[in-house]
A and B are shown apart, each in its own frame.
Chain A
């Protein structure tokens, strides 16, 4: 029987990884999560106080809510600052200014996070809006601080969002001197790795504290100008010309309560 179970597992892995049976398997996963979502929501709400107690403080829940509120306000201020910096950069690049779509003009759906993923090897959350609210796979998700992630799976009333720190998450970012970079999640934690996409432009000089925003190149999955994060470290790997930076995202997954799904698709 063990051999049979191993065989079934290997068949499932190869079907999913090769993409041949992916749509069917994703449908099964979607149905499973659609059934689980209402139960998760209720049980999570009921057991939250026990979890809060576990973390060590009797009054932790109220303090956490207050703290979340204050941090959200701080994130909004940071987002304003980041947006201002981005607009300044855009003002310097006169050419594109007239044609860029901005987040402010994009319709969005506000959603509540109903489940923070419990996997130790991925960073994703479940939100309480799905296909019925117009949410589709691939749409960008933003929060008070900037880019939060993107939708990777949708059911009728819920959606799964891979956060910016998830190992599968990649987004193009604008770099100085007309360069473009690729920002990729590094798994649970709070940093994103940015590498320069080789181009004919001069190698960009990256500086600690610099703010990076989405590039929004043609067919890019994200609109331009969404603040991604602030550069924390910069290093040039031995034997290479282009620098590699670690970026601290503006959005902290641990503090997320609500997010906005941008009803946007690449033109």
Chain B
């Protein structure tokens, strides 16, 4: 007899599946979507969507997992740089979603823009603290270009990806808490 899976564990499995799809898309399709030489960052997008869908704790965990997958697929930076950066982004977006941001799709593209810019700054700081010159080697102009292109992609994709993440995270404590808060505000 197959043991029943609790709603929380089922949600974790769904989130894991979304993250694995994300890293596969990032390392395959992502490079074909370059604009001005800059590829989108689907893993940062998933961290942002995780914060919006699952609150600060869930956002931090989803961001950490997304970053860890990005770390594993790269060799240029120490393992953990992206995990730490995207963990902080997921937590910050989740905290803002719980305490400041209203429910609703119109605000999500703005969150995508701001969180991407903030995420890149966090990545640069974490990279600098861990002694990595790779992030700044190409110069400020390249960083600005990366920020603009990634922010544009994330602003466009954040609505469908957040909807997907919200479905995946249904049943977790963070997502349920966000749902109750939204119901209270609406009611």
Contact = CB atoms under 8 A, between A and B. Distances in A.
Interface of A: 1-2, 5-6, 8-13, 15-17, 25-26, 28-29, 32-33, 36, 39-40, 43-44, 47-48, 50-52, 54-55, 115-122, 124, 152-153, 160, 162, 166-168, 185-189
Interface in B71-120: 71-81, 83-84, 87-88, 91
Given A44-B29, A186-B137, 10 more contacts: A10-B80, A13-B78, A28-B72, A43-B29, A47-B32, A54-B32, A121-B76, A121-B137, A122-B76, A187-B139
Contact of A12 (B74, B80, B142): B80
A5 B60 CA distance: 8
B33 A54 contact: yes
B30 interface: yes
A112 to B, nearest CB: 15
A39 to B, nearest CB: 6
B181 interface: no
A12 B76 contact: no
Contacts of A55: 32
A69 B121 CA distance: 40
A124 B87 contact: no
Contact of A167 (B29, B38, B76, B150): B76
A47 B131 contact: no
* A contact face: mostly helix, strand, loop, or mixed: helix
Interface residues of B, number: 49
Contact of B84 (A10, A15, A28, A121): A10
Interface in B20-58: 23-33, 37-39, 41, 56-57
Given A10-B84, A51-B32, A117-B31, A188 B75 contact: no
B130 interface: yes
* B contact face: mostly helix, strand, loop, or mixed: helix
Nearest to A184: B137
A36 B73 contact: yes
B133 A13 contact: no
Contacts of A187: 134, 137-139, 142
A2 B28 contact: no
Contacts of B80: 8-13, 16
A15 B78 CA distance: 9
A9 B87 contact: yes
B146 interface: yes
Interface of B: 23-33, 37-39, 41, 56-57, 60-61, 64, 67, 71-81, 83-84, 87-88, 91, 126, 130-131, 133-135, 137-139, 142, 146, 150
A26 B71 CA distance: 11
Contacts of A29: 72, 75, 79
B150 A120 contact: yes
B75 A51 contact: no
21 contacts: A1-B60, A2-B56, A2-B60, A5-B64, A5-B83, A5-B87, A12-B83, A39-B24, A40-B27, A51-B31, A117-B74, A120-B39, A120-B41, A120-B146, A122-B134, A162-B76, A167-B76, A186-B138, A187-B134, A188-B37, A189-B142
B84 A6 contact: yes
B78 A17 contact: yes
Residue of B38, B74, B79, B142 with most chain A CB atoms under a 10 A cut-off:
B79
A66 B62 CA distance: 43
Contact of B142 (A5, A9, A162, A188): A188
A20 B134 CA distance: 21
A168 B134 contact: yes
B33 A51 contact: yes
Given A17-B131, A162-B76, A168-B134, A1 B61 contact: yes
